[in-house]
Amino acid sequence: MKLIIGLGNPGSKYKNTYHNLGFMAVDAFAKAKKQLFLKSECDSKTAKGKLNGEEYVLAKPQTYMNLSGTAFKKLVKKYNVSEDDILVIYDDADIPTGHMRARYEGSAGTHNGMRNIIEENNMEHFKRLRIGFQTEELKNKEVALLDFVLSPIDYETKPIFDKCIKEAVSAIEDFVKGEPFDKIMARVNVFDGTK
């Protein structure tokens, strides 16, 4: 059993914001597999499937970003998954727009949702896929991060994020199929959606 959790905020108000890139990734994977998030459980919307004989659960926590750890804890307990079988997908302001990073473990960085997951679960050893959205304005601290992450993705950069989401869908598929994570990292970590 694989558990793939996309982070974001529930509600139409946040639908196309930078902070919902994790939701967008699992939504795109579900759409590709003709699945719907019909079930409400563990403070999340979930969809389930099977790929190459491997069962998986897609989850979108509904607790709002800063309390993602609550849903994470309930999902891990219910599905009794090991750290090796968890993949969390989320936005990252420290990675340039169009770039992505896959990692085995690590700190939360500037991401409050990940910080809450780590604190609530006392766990850092799970796989994560980060979708970057750093701009020059963010890098130079010309705009407030909190305001920016909750703003809609702008029209000019949307095609770049569409490429990132497509790459994330491919990474999720490989993860579910049991592809070595080193191989997924090698591909994702050199991906450039701006080209």
- What SS3 class is residue 78? helix
| Catalytic-residue membership of 125 | no
- Residues making up the chain, counted from first to last: 195
The residue with tokens 């070595």 is 180
Q: Looking at 19, 99, 111, 125, which residue is catalytic?
A: 19
What span, in angstroms and rounded, lies between the C-alpha atoms of 95 and 139? 10
3-state DSSP helix/strand/coil % of the chain, to nearest 5: 45, 25, 30
Residue pair 48/58 in contact (Cβ under 8 Å)? The answer is yes
- What is the C-alpha end-to-end distance of the chain, expressed in Å? 35
Residues labelled as active-site residues: 19
